[in-house]
Amino acid sequence: MARSSWFMVLVLLLVFALSARLSDSALTPDYYNRTCPGVASIVSGVVRQKRDATIRTIGSTIRLFFHDCFVEGCDASVLIQSTPGNPTEMDADDNKSLAFEGYDTVRGAKAAVEAACPDQVSCADILALATRDAIVLVHTDRSGGPFYEVELGRLDGLSSSARSVAGKLPNPNHSMNQLIAIFRAHGLTMSHLVALSAAHTVGLAHCGKFASRAYSSPPDPTLNPKYAAFLRSRCPFDRSSDPTVFMDQASPARFDNQYFRNLQDGGGLLGSDQLLYTDNRTRPMVDSWAASDAAFSKAFVDAIVKLGRVGVKSGRQGNIRKQCDVFN
């Protein structure tokens, strides 16, 4: 290939790389200072009301943000309801366990924001704000997680397809290499993987996601026997029903580093949780953050801010929906 052709290829690659980062750099906490200055307080008020109604609001909202960002980026495409002939991300197998309370929180916040600032704030940004508030407001006392400034300026995605979800989300039975690869595909590191996994310190999981560990024969050597017995008492062997269990039995209403101390004691609920401690590559981070809530909080903030930059839509790639669950 001639030198001029190689030069053109390099220029095109550079332009692509810069354009991929352009929407990230446009995100800023003060994005709505002129168009909707009260958006943060409006969303926070709704999250507080929903939390007071049910603690399920917290974990459901956080999980919704994660599932949105890992499939087609942080563009609120997971919120779109299916229509005849078009099953959306919401109805993909990996998303069917997403709880109603998360969706309801974002819809309620969007309605309140629209009443104050019509056609100004995207559902993607409302979901990002609601997630931060769920972390901070996890409990009525001061046991919430770290506060952080939410970068804003995302647009809502223009498409949502159930087919796009497969293989994009971590699975409880994934190997460490698989987990690392999924995070790396979005520019997230192993440190981000461990820190974000600690969101499991709040919320619930259905027995179907972990019962095989509790009933395994021979017993799962990484699972604390007393914890396994407790899980068996909550999850029927015949799977005649699929109840939920708090992911962190020690402090289910606190966003803290207890998650890592649980792993040290063989108390990770999902196989992918406990793997963080059994794998030598991630165990040092588990031990470090188990020993320091401040260090964990710092790492978590860094990770979730980085997550919020994944696949951000701008320009003709998106718009601002009037309702979060239907396209304009």
Residues with catalytic roles: 67
The closest alpha carbon to 75, from 326, 314, 323, 328, belongs to: 314
Beta-sheet pairing, 204-206 with 156-157:
unpaired
* Tokens, residue 62: 């956080």
278 known member of a binding site: no
287 known member of a binding site: no
256 known member of a binding site: yes
139 known member of a binding site: no
Q: What sign does the CA torsion over 270, 276, 280, 284 have? A: negative
> How far, in Å, CA of 226 to CA of 152, rounded?
45
- Alpha-carbon dihedral 202, 104, 158, 148, rounded to 10 degrees: -40
3-state secondary structure of 206: strand
15 known member of a binding site: no
170 known member of a binding site: yes
302 known member of a binding site: no
118 known member of a binding site: no
242 known member of a binding site: no
54 known member of a binding site: no
Q: What is the DSSP letter of 325?
A: T
- DSSP states of 54-68 as a string? -THHHHHHHHHHHHH
3-state secondary structure of 152: strand
- DSSP states of 79-123 as a string? GPPPBTTB--GGGSGGGTTS-HHHHHHHHHHHHHHHHHSTTTS-H
293 known member of a binding site: no
Hey, which residues does 204 pair with through a beta bridge?
246
Residue 282 parent element (H or E): none
- Alpha-carbon dihedral 144, 150, 154, 160, rounded to 10 degrees: -20
Extract the annotated binding site for heme b.
200
Would you list which residues are annotated within the binding site? 68, 71, 73, 75, 77, 89, 170, 200-201, 248, 256
Please report, in range form, the residues annotated as the binding site for Ca(2+).
Answer: 68, 71, 73, 75, 77, 89, 201, 248, 256
